[in-house]
Structure 1
Amino acid sequence: MVYDPPASSTAAQLRYLIDAVTEFIVLKDGEGRWLVANRAVIDTYELEGLDYIGMTDMELAAFRPHLIDAFRYNLKTDEQAWAHGKALTIYKSFELDGRLNTWEVVKTPSFTTQGARHQLVIVSRNITDRVEAEQELALKEQKYRLIAENMSDIVGTRRLDGTITYLSPSFEHQLGLALSEYIDRQIGSIIHPEDVRRLQRDLILPPENRELPTTRCRLRLASGTYRWFEISRSMTWFDDIEEYQIVFTCRDIQERVQYEQRLHRLAYEDALTGIPNRRQLLDDLGRRVQQESAFALLYLDIDHFKNINDRHGHDIGDALLTALANRLTEHLNIGDTVARIGGDEFVVVIADADHALAHAERLCHALQAPWHLENQIFHTTSSIGVALCPADSRRVHTLLNLADQALFNAKRQGRGCVCAYSDSRRT
């Protein structure tokens, strides 16, 4: 047996339901007369005790004149909904309890089969909290965008495949490149080829396990030159698109890098000649020994350099040292290095140990060619001592001492010649 509640009971239940709803619910007929209003409407429009059923908005306004503006707005937007012919969403704001409230109102008209106005269902939702939250978010976004668009650092986002999704205007200011050419495209083309692989290594692990360290790379400018930038990155989950993206900032550190390079030159390069100094030579020799490389170490100086320096002055002496460093550099092969370790003493490291003596002889001959310095011509010779690794020793300082001993023997043999430590040891 199916229970069929009486009509009066069903009406009471429906009344209870609409009164429990916090949204405004109003039903009007085709003439704009109020037929149903829930408790939220009755309380807001102060209709308690007033027989509002069958009244229009303007008739109700006569009883509540202080709400006339709200009734007039209702009437105006009702007509807009009827003209629209289907559900119309509008927004209205008014002060309630000392606070400006915003309402989202959906007015849905219905018509008879002949097309005449039948009824208008009005549902209004208070969206004040949502609007205030959106306004606060928009204000924050505006502030962040203002910062991003006016800061000198480049700010951007990119997908894990490298596709750029956002770039701040500073991209154009810093690099001179058009934003439109890189949004939704790969940015790898402006990264220096030597830096691309290092940046890609950071993206091997799954996104949730990645820690992206601050790094450096060179970015290409519109002029074709490169500048150093410091890159800060963070892996971020974007809820709206449901994917991980990398948020990054690029700060121009060209001046910092140039300063660091100057410090490096001061620490590892000879100030006069620009070639490696003793410190860099020792580092280089240390690496070669650790790699168990076979190489030759040539220790040389300029015969009678003190006489030239004393007779012609330090400017000529410095010019001679610089010219000698340049000539040595010109005669180096791939893998060879030259360093000035003090005064007129130089060390040449020859990677091809098997032909080191022949190379030393060629250098000795090349250093006998005239020097054209400040409109003068000078003739000098150089003595060269040779030590071999690993044949003579595997210890760096021992090799230097052995090559120095061989140089001393070359001078005893008359200068301007080559002497290997292994040969001097046998004599």
Structure 2
Amino acid sequence: MKISAFFSRQKEDSMESANLPSLSINDKKVYEALFNNHIDLTFILDRDGTILNINEATSKTTGYSKKDMIGESFIPFVVEEYLDTSMELFNRVLKGKTQNSIFAIKAKSGDPILVNCITIPITDEGEVVGAIGISKNITEEENLKKELDLNEQKYRSLFENHPDAVYLLGLDGAFVDCNDSLCRFLGYSREELAYSFHSLVAEEYLDYTNECFAKAAEGSPQNYNSVGIHKNGQRVAVNITNIPMMMDGKIVGVFGIAKDITRSRAQEEALHKVQDSLVHAQKMANIGSWDYDYEANEAYWSLQMYKIFGMNPHAEFKASYETYLEFIHPSDRMRFISIFQQAIKNRKSFSIEYKIIRMDDEVRIVHQQSDILLKPSGEISRIIGTIHDITERRYAEKKLVESEKQFRNIYNNLDVAIWSIDILEPRVLFCSKGVENIFGYPASYFEECIEQLMNAIYPEDFLAIKNEFKQMKQGKTVKKQCRIFHSTGEIRWIEASIIPIIEEGQFLRIDGITTDITEQKRNQEVMNHLAHHDYLTDLPNRRKFDEELKLLIEECPSFAILYLDLDRFKHINDTLGHTIGDELLIEVANRLRTHSNQQMFISRMAGDEFSVLLKEPEDLDDAIKAGWSIGKPSRSLTLYRTMNFMSPPASESASTQRTAMTLIPF
């Protein structure tokens, strides 16, 4: 029976068993409507795991269309590490057991989607014919959970390691949690501090402490001095800060920090120290504080406030709402008035960033944070807050943005190619535009398919790079020169600096910088040729001869050395000139090349001296025969002033060749 038909029959059986009236619409359409409009990912599988249908939420979440998925096995859509678990769960469903599991599926973009899936067997007459699954996308939930866990760890670390006594009280005043500093502070264990704080406060300070706690529990942060009672009965002077703890917009408790001020100094000295520290902190951070009496329209400014606004703190000045507005830059003044009036209307704290004009006409950027304090009647009593001069920070951020743009501009216009490759997938993560100058292909060509990058590297050199992977896995940077195929078909040389990226012992990716060194290689070849060849005849020179001779001594079982020079060469130079002598040397070199073979290495040693290395002659006669064959064409050369070579008349200058030979081994 088809699954769609099964649904229709199940619906009919259900209605009959419940004695319900038949529906006026097609039953199949009811199920289809429920299926297609479900907000979670919903799918139907047959016994083979083939996808028979998916709903719109599945397509929207994964990026796959129905055409992409229907008729395909569910296996390719499951992230590999969850595949075995998914198969095991599916087999359990085929045995008639509903399963609930968490696993990851692949979106069309390649990103994993974490889902909480319940899979229900579909049965027909007692036989499982398929399965229907409903999967809730919990990717964001899991990411948020991880972030919350991290924040919890940070909070717990700060809480436990704070040098002062830190605690959390419920709204009834009972200790919910505390750190070890509080236990050391009062001499009690955590178990002994499981009750209300009232028993720990000196009797004469109890009412005041309760009053401050009540204000904090109503949403108003408190800082006050009190006296606690140590377990041994000693009185401990403390400075306490109580801050309301908010959750979902409601106050659920009071967070407190208690600082022992008994040992350091008397309460008045401690207060002065706090005030001095605050002034210093404000100076260091360039933060000023103020307290505005709303009814009197008069504000108290800290010393740093005067410095921020470029004013003399001892000068006559009444800080009021109207005088403060005059400092605000005209371009920001109306916005400030609007936000301030809205905060007054809503009785809510506010923050705002704006520009001010100092007394010396310098424009600065400040950030204001304000809290509105209310009377018991609900009327505004005071507005307190801070002014933070953030001019340098904003300018730095602006310069950073500009620097980023400059870097991006340089990055995109460098002649070098900057790239990154994911080793695990593998795929090219990105390439800079410089890759187009080197390979002739746009960056997207390699980003779309890593095989195209591999194919662009000369096969022998690609194998050499792969052999360096052992070094890379150990975290060592590798510098390699290799050949590539340019898009034009030309073979070019590149140099790549390959930097392995290893995290927690896992080889994740390689980053690199590639430079085109084709011209450098060509220059090296030219320089190498010039270093090992005679500039006049282009024959190998004495340096190259010595290298070949050393190689033959090491590798060749036998060889012969032929030494040739020209008779009367000095006479030709003296009578006809060095230019004609050079022409003669060039002609000799050309004839030697013409009548040599692969077993011979011919070089010009110096002047009119030439040498020939003959590899592996059979015997001395073979060497002599080879020497005669190479020397014969140039044994008698006549040089006319017209620079033609032919048989010599007696009246012209002529040169003959002499040849000496050594056979090794003798």
1:191 to 447, 457, 468: 457
Does residue 233 (structure 1) correspond to residue 498 (structure 2)? The answer is yes
| Structure with the larger RCO, 1 or 2 (CA within 8 Å, 6+ apart) | 1
Does residue 344 (structure 1) correspond to residue 605 (structure 2)? The answer is no
**SS of 1:290 mapped into structure 2:** helix
Q: Which residue type is aligned with residue 366 of structure 1?
A: P
In 2, the alpha carbon distance for the partners of 1:153 and 1:192 equals 19
Q: How many Å apart are 1:280 and its aligned residue?
A: 1.6
**SS of 1:182 mapped into structure 2:** helix
Q: Which residue type is aligned with residue 152 of structure 1?
A: D
Does residue 366 (structure 1) correspond to residue 633 (structure 2)? The answer is yes
Q: How many Å apart are 1:154 and its aligned residue?
A: 1.5
Please say if residues 175 and 222 of structure 1, whose CA atoms lie closer than 8 Å, have aligned partners that are also in contact.
yes
In 1, the alpha carbon distance for the partners of 2:341 and 2:251 equals 16
User: Are the structure 2 counterparts of residues 10 and 203 from structure 1 closer, same or farther at C-alpha, using a change threshold of 3 Å?
Assistant: same
In 1, the alpha carbon distance for the partners of 2:399 and 2:252 equals 32
**SS of 2:661 mapped into structure 1:** strand
**SS of 1:274 mapped into structure 2:** coil
1:279 to 523, 538, 543: 543
Q: How many Å apart are 1:197 and its aligned residue?
A: 4.0
Q: Which residue type is aligned with residue 275 of structure 1?
A: L
Larger deviation, residues 342-351 vs 145-154: 145-154
In 1, the alpha carbon distance for the partners of 2:403 and 2:509 equals 21
Q: State the match for 1:382 in structure 2.
A: 657
Q: 1:18-417 alignment to 2 at 5 Å?
A: 25-26=248-249, 36=250, 66=340, 68=342, 99=367, 144-160=407-423, 164-183=428-447, 184-186=449-451, 187-193=453-459, 195-205=461-471, 207-212=473-478, 214-237=479-502, 243-291=507-555, 293-334=557-598, 336-354=600-618, 355-368=622-635, 376-379=644-647, 381-389=656-664, 391-392=665-666
Please say if residues 238 and 245 of structure 1, whose CA atoms lie closer than 8 Å, have aligned partners that are also in contact.
no
Please say if residues 433 and 442 of structure 2, whose CA atoms lie closer than 8 Å, have aligned partners that are also in contact.
no
Q: How many Å apart are 1:347 and its aligned residue?
A: 0.9
TM-score, normalization by structure 1: 0.55
In 2, the alpha carbon distance for the partners of 1:259 and 1:291 equals 30
**SS of 2:597 mapped into structure 1:** coil
Q: Which residue type is aligned with residue 317 of structure 1?
A: G
Q: How many Å apart are 1:24 and its aligned residue?
A: 6.0
In 2, the alpha carbon distance for the partners of 1:328 and 1:308 equals 20
In 1, the alpha carbon distance for the partners of 2:342 and 2:567 equals 111
> Any unmatched runs of 5+ in structure 2?
1-170, 177-213, 220-242, 255-337, 355-365, 370-393, 648-654
Please say if residues 458 and 482 of structure 2, whose CA atoms lie closer than 8 Å, have aligned partners that are also in contact.
yes
Note the alpha carbon deviations across 1:117-149, whole angstroms, 9 max, x for none.
xxxxxxxxxxxxxxx9x9999988766544321
User: Are the structure 2 counterparts of residues 311 and 150 from structure 1 closer, same or farther at C-alpha, using a change threshold of 3 Å?
Assistant: same
User: Are the structure 2 counterparts of residues 292 and 209 from structure 1 closer, same or farther at C-alpha, using a change threshold of 3 Å?
Assistant: farther
Q: How many Å apart are 1:94 and its aligned residue?
A: 5.4
Q: How many Å apart are 1:349 and its aligned residue?
A: 1.1
In 2, the alpha carbon distance for the partners of 1:299 and 1:93 equals 96
**SS of 1:264 mapped into structure 2:** helix
Q: How many Å apart are 1:260 and its aligned residue?
A: 3.8
In 2, the alpha carbon distance for the partners of 1:152 and 1:255 equals 13
Q: How many Å apart are 1:23 and its aligned residue?
A: 6.5
Q: How many Å apart are 1:282 and its aligned residue?
A: 0.9
User: Are the structure 2 counterparts of residues 329 and 377 from structure 1 closer, same or farther at C-alpha, using a change threshold of 3 Å?
Assistant: closer
**SS of 1:204 mapped into structure 2:** helix
Please say if residues 300 and 382 of structure 1, whose CA atoms lie closer than 8 Å, have aligned partners that are also in contact.
yes
User: Are the structure 2 counterparts of residues 189 and 375 from structure 1 closer, same or farther at C-alpha, using a change threshold of 3 Å?
Assistant: farther
Q: How many Å apart are 1:300 and its aligned residue?
A: 1.2
RMSD of aligned Cα (Å): 4.7
Q: How many Å apart are 1:178 and its aligned residue?
A: 2.7
In 1, the alpha carbon distance for the partners of 2:606 and 2:477 equals 46
Please say if residues 235 and 245 of structure 1, whose CA atoms lie closer than 8 Å, have aligned partners that are also in contact.
yes
User: Are the structure 2 counterparts of residues 208 and 268 from structure 1 closer, same or farther at C-alpha, using a change threshold of 3 Å?
Assistant: same
Length, aligned pairs only: 301
Note the alpha carbon deviations across 1:233-287, whole angstroms, 9 max, x for none.
2112369xx7432222122344444444444344322111122111121122112
Q: State the match for 2:294 in structure 1.
A: none
> Any unmatched runs of 5+ in structure 1?
1-7, 27-35, 41-63, 75-91, 102-131, 393-427
Note the alpha carbon deviations across 1:389-411, whole angstroms, 9 max, x for none.
2x13xxxxxxxxxxxxxxxxxxx
In 2, the alpha carbon distance for the partners of 1:22 and 1:330 equals 99
Q: State the match for 1:121 in structure 2.
A: none
Q: Which residue type is aligned with residue 326 of structure 1?
A: N
Note the alpha carbon deviations across 1:368-423, whole angstroms, 9 max, x for none.
5979996623456533222122x13xxxxxxxxxxxxxxxxxxxxxxxxxxxxxxx
Q: State the match for 2:17 in structure 1.
A: none
Larger deviation, residues 142-151 vs 343-352: 142-151
Q: How many Å apart are 1:180 and its aligned residue?
A: 2.7
In 2, the alpha carbon distance for the partners of 1:336 and 1:100 equals 90
User: Are the structure 2 counterparts of residues 180 and 315 from structure 1 closer, same or farther at C-alpha, using a change threshold of 3 Å?
Assistant: same
Q: State the match for 2:143 in structure 1.
A: none
Please say if residues 217 and 251 of structure 2, whose CA atoms lie closer than 8 Å, have aligned partners that are also in contact.
no
Q: Which residue type is aligned with residue 157 of structure 1?
A: S
Q: How many Å apart are 1:158 and its aligned residue?
A: 2.8
Please say if residues 296 and 356 of structure 1, whose CA atoms lie closer than 8 Å, have aligned partners that are also in contact.
yes
**SS of 1:353 mapped into structure 2:** coil
Please say if residues 580 and 643 of structure 2, whose CA atoms lie closer than 8 Å, have aligned partners that are also in contact.
no
User: Are the structure 2 counterparts of residues 71 and 137 from structure 1 closer, same or farther at C-alpha, using a change threshold of 3 Å?
Assistant: farther
